[in-house]
Amino acid sequence: MSSANAREGILATLRAGLAAAPLSVPAPPARPASLSVGPDAWALLAAVLEPLEVRLRLAATPAEAARHVADIARERGAASYARWADLPAAAEMDAALAGLTRLEPNPSGCCQALARADLGLTFAQAALMDSGSLVLVAGPQRPRSVSLLPPTHVCLVPRAGLVADVSALPELLRRHAAASGAFPQGLLPSCLNLITGPSSTADIELVLVRGVHGPGALDVVGLDWDLE
């Protein structure tokens, strides 16, 4: 049987099943109200990140953000880094990390190149206060592997990106899709990652270990100013 025949067979069986025994769906209750994003949003985010062993550092200026990133690189013993190309305060970051080797992703062997980096520096479109999840949207200047292959991941989170929970995601994705006019209407970015704490496993004897395949360390720098 070909895949096309399978398709027709499967759909016909499903249709016949629903016709024989219709399935009605009771209206669900209204979605509970989300957390409100107020002046204490950074504190809420820090509190939810803390049990994940993720430290939030706040920066009031690009220079302060760059200093935080340099501190993190030093604390984690990083000798090399890779970063997304279009970061806020990118110039300040490079200056602050001048002592480290910057690895450039090359399209032919992006993962191979970035696997050698000690630290990956990215930027979150949003952060979910309910769970401490960082919302990263991949794109041409933003390889997925920067937040995945290096043992340390540092993520910049803008003040305007603080949202309540995952129910904010559809709206955010649609806005993103609408803005990317180059693609057919409604097409989402190729990859969106919610990142919540470091890579982890408890597969052996249920003992929690950070850093299995992804970064064992995650640091967040809050950009507490208005990005344009």
Partner 1 sequence: MEINPRDFREQSEKACHDATLRAVLDHATRYFQAKRGAALETFADRETHFARARAARLAALSRLPELLEQLEQTATAAGTRVHWAADAAQAREIITGIAQDCGAKVVVKGKSMVTEEIALNPALEAAGMEVWETDLGEFIVQLAGEPPSHIIAPCIHKSRADVAALFRAKLGLLGLSGLDGLPGQENLSDAASIPELTLLARKALREKFLAADLGVTGVNIAVAETGSVILVENEGNIRMSTTCPPVHVAVMSLEKVAATLEDAADILRVLPRSATGQKMSSYVSVLTGPRRPNEQDGARETHLVILDNGRSEVLAEPILREALLCFRCGACLNSCPVYQTIGGHAYGSVYSGPIGALLSSLLLPAQDTRDLPFGCTLCGACKRTCPLGIDHPRLMLRLRERVCQSSGTGLAGAAHSFLALHPLFYRLAVGAARAVDPNLDLLPRLPGFPGLANFVDTRQPPELKKPFSAQLLRLRKKQARTKKPHTNKGDA
Rounded Cα gap, residues 156 and 175, in angstroms: 20
The contacts of residue 174 (CB under 8 Å, 6+ apart) are 186
Binding flag, residue 110, partner 1 (CB under 8 A): yes
Closer CB to partner 1, residue 205 or residue 228? 205
The site map against partner 1 for 62-101 (x = CB under 8 A) is ----------------------------------------
Rounded Cα gap, residues 115 and 210, in angstroms: 18
Closer CB to partner 1, residue 101 or residue 106? 106
Q: Hey, what are 77's tokens?
A: 């013993």
Stretch that binds partner 1, among 20-28, 39-47, 94-102, 219-227 (CB under 8 A): 20-28
Q: State in angstroms the smallest separation of the CB of 63 from partner 1.
A: 29
Rounded Cα gap, residues 103 and 78, in angstroms: 12
Binding residue for partner 1 (CB under 8 A) from 36, 61, 101, 201? 201
Rounded Cα gap, residues 114 and 19, in angstroms: 53
Task: Answer positive or negative: Cα dihedral of 168, 171, 174, 175.
Answer: negative
Binding flag, residue 107, partner 1 (CB under 8 A): yes
Residues 155-174 that bind partner 1 (CB under 8 A): 165-167, 169-170, 173-174
How many Å is the maximal CA-CA distance in the chain? 70
The site map against partner 1 for 177-196 (x = CB under 8 A) is ------xx-xxxxxxxxxxx
Q: Hey, what are 196's tokens?
A: 């919540």
Binding flag, residue 202, partner 1 (CB under 8 A): yes
Q: State in angstroms the smallest separation of the CB of 78 from partner 1.
A: 17
Binding flag, residue 221, partner 1 (CB under 8 A): no
Secondary structure of residue 156 in the 3-state scheme:
strand
CA angle at 200 for the pair 196 and 205, rounded to the nearest 5°: 140
Binding residue for partner 1 (CB under 8 A) from 120, 143, 150, 222? 143
Q: State in angstroms the smallest separation of the CB of 67 from partner 1.
A: 28
Binding flag, residue 125, partner 1 (CB under 8 A): no
Closer CB to partner 1, residue 4 or residue 98? 4
Rounded Cα gap, residues 61 and 54, in angstroms: 21
Exposed (0-12), middle (13-18) or buried (19+): which is 189, by Cβ within 10 Å?
Answer: middle
Q: How many residues in the shown chain lie near partner 1 by CB under 8 A?
A: 85
